[in-house]
Chain A
Amino acid sequence: MPPTIAHAESPPRRMPSIRFGGPGLRRGLVAGYLTIMVLIPIAVVVIRSGEDGWSTFWDAVSQPQAVAAIKLTLIASLIVVAINAVFGTILAWVLVRDEFPGKRIVNSVIDLPFALPTIVAGLTLLALYGDNGVLGLTGVQATRIGVVLALLFVTLPFVVRAVQPTLIELDQDMEEAAASLGAGPLTIFRKVVLPNLTPAITAGVALAFARAIGEFGSLILISGNIPFKTEVASIFIFKQIEAGNTTAAAAVSVVLLTLSVLVLILINWYGRRSIRE
C-alpha cells in the first residue's frame, strides 16, 4: 500500500470541506479501492514473473512457443490496426461528411463490438466464415486469417470514434481555400485533411493496438489455438495457467503488460504534444 497517496498533503482549499465525506476521507477511500482492486493484483504478477530470477524469466519468455505466440500477436495486431486505420477513417468520413438514409443506425452499429461479448464476436464470425459457416469457407477457422478477422472485429470502433469528433470540428474553409487554389480532391485530402486527422488516427490506432495484443475471448473459438501457428500470447498465457505453470504465464503477461503501458504512455504524451501545438 502506498500511504503517500492516501495521505497526500491537504490541498490549498478554496472552500472549507463541503463535499461528502470530506476530501481526505474520500481520497483515502478511492486510493484504497484502486490499490486493492488494481495495484496489488498487477504488482503481484510482476513480482511473480521475476521471483525465480532473471534467467527463469528469460527462459519462459524466450522458449520457442512463447516467442512464436508473441510474434504472431504483434504482427497480427499491426496488420489489424493498419487495416482499421484506413477503414476507420473512411467510415468516420462517410459518417460525418456523407448523407444517406439509415446513417444514424450505421453510426450506432459501429459500437456493436464494444457491446457484444467477445465470445459471441468469435462465434459470430464463425457463423459466416467458419468451416461450417454459411459461406462454407475453409481457409478462416484455425488459421491466421481467422486471428486477423477476429481482431479486426473487436478493434473496429476505436479509430472511427477517435476520428469522428475531429472531423466534425474540422473547419471546411481550409479545404475550400485549397480547392479554390486549384487543388484536386486527393491533394486536398493528403495535404489538408489528413495532417489534421493524424493525431486522432494515432490515438485510435494506439488504443486498438493495446486492445488487440491482449484479446482473448473472440480468438478462443476461431483461432484453433494451434501452437506455433495460430496461438496468440493471451491464449499461450491461458494454457500455461491451466497447466499450473504460473511463473511462465506471469513472465509472458509482463511482456504484454509492458507493451500496454507503453502504448498508454505514448497516447498521453502524443495527446499532450498535439494539444500544445
Chain B
Amino acid sequence: MSANSAAATAQKNIVRGGLGARISLRVLGLGYLAALLLVPVIMIVFKAFEDGAGNIIDTLTTPEAIHAFWLTLVMVAVAIPLNTIFGVACALVLVRDKFRGKWFLNALIDLPFAISPVVIGLALVLVYGSVDGVFGQWLIEHGIRVIFTPIGMAIATTFVSLPFVVREIEPVLREIGEDQEQAAATLGANGWQTFWRITLPAIRWGLTYGVVLATARALGEFGAVSIVSGRISGETETLPLFVQKQFEVFNVSGAYAAALVLAIIALVTLGAMNLVRRRDTSSVSPSQIVGDRDLTEEPV
C-alpha cells in the first residue's frame, strides 16, 4: 500500500518534471517576463522623476497636456458607446441568426485586430481626406473636415476598438442559448423587455470585460490616430501623441511623465480585467484567441 503510494508520488514527480527542472523552468519563464515587461515598466517611474517632480507637474499641467488628456477621453466617449451598442447587435446577429454571407461579417469584425494601425490610418485618409479621399470632394462641399480633426480621430479610435465587445459576448450568448428568451416571449414579453430583463443580465460580465478591453485600446491607440490627426498640439493631440511629441522635443522626462499617466491607467485596466474575470469564472479571455471562435460551426 505505502509502496504503491510512494511509486505514485515518484510518478507524479516525473510528470511534473522533478524539482530541478521545475525550478529552472520557473526561473527561465519569470526571468524572461521580468526582463521584458516588469523591470522596463518600473523604469518609467525612474525616468519620469529624472528631472525632478517639478518637471512632471510642469509638463502635465501645460494647456497642451490637459487638452490631450481631455481629447483622449472624448475619443473614448465616442468610440466605446458606439462599439458597445453595435457590438451587442453584432454578437446577437452572429449567434442567433442564420443567413448567407455570415462568414463575411465575421471576417470583417476580425479585420481591425489583424490590420496594422498605419493601414487603418491610410484607409481613413483615402476615404475622408480632402485631397485623396473618395468622399473628400463631397465633404468639402458640405463644409465637413474629417482628416486632421477630432472627427477623423474618433473614427480611427472606433475602428481599432470595434471587435472587443463582439468577441467577448459572442461565446457567452452561445452558451446561454435561447430557452430563457423564448420562455419570456411566450409569457408575453416584447423584444425590448426580453433583451433588458433576460439577455443583458446574462451577458453583463462578458460585456463589461469587452468594454474594459476596448477602452484600454481606445485610450492607447497611436498609429491610426497619429496619421489622421495631423498631430497639432493643443488641437488634435491625444495623450499617446503627446508622449511622442515630448520625446521628440527632447523633454524626455516629460514624455515619461505622460507615459506614466498612461501606464497607471493601463494598470487600473489590468486590475479591472482581473476583477471581472474572477466574477466571470472563465479564466482566459476568448477574444485573445480568435482561433477558438466558431470552430464548431461550418461556414454558412
Contacts and interface: CB of A to CB of B under 8 A. Distances in A.
Interface of A: 2, 4-5, 8-9, 11-12, 14-23, 26-27, 29-31, 33-34, 37-42, 44-45, 48, 87, 90-91, 93-94, 97-98, 100, 106, 108-120, 123-125, 127-129, 132-134, 149, 152-153, 156-158, 161-162, 164-165, 168, 172, 175-176, 179-180, 183-185, 188-189, 203-204, 206-207, 210, 213-217, 220-221, 233-235, 237-238, 241, 246, 249-250, 253, 256-257, 260-261, 263-264, 267-268, 270-272, 275
A8 B290 contact: no
B139 interface: no
A91 B266 contact: no
A168 B283 contact: yes
A161 B288 CA distance: 7
Given A44-B126, A127-B43, A20 B116 contact: no
A71 B39 CA distance: 31
Contacts of A127: 40, 43-44, 46-47, 256
A237 B116 contact: yes
Given A90-B28, A125-B40, A111 B273 contact: yes
Contact of B33 (A20, A109, A204, A234): A109
A26 B274 CA distance: 32
Interface of B: 11-12, 14-18, 21-22, 25-26, 28-30, 32-33, 36-41, 43-44, 46-47, 86, 89-90, 92-93, 96-101, 104-105, 107-127, 132, 134, 155, 158-159, 162, 178, 181-182, 185, 189-192, 194-195, 199, 213, 216, 219-223, 226-227, 239-241, 243-244, 247, 252, 255-256, 259, 262-263, 266-267, 269-271, 273-274, 283-285, 288-292, 294-296
Given A94-B25, A116-B220, A246-B132, A123 B292 contact: no
Given A20-B191, A41-B123, A109-B38, A157 B99 contact: no
B122 A91 contact: no
DSSP majority for the B interface? helix
B33 A91 contact: yes
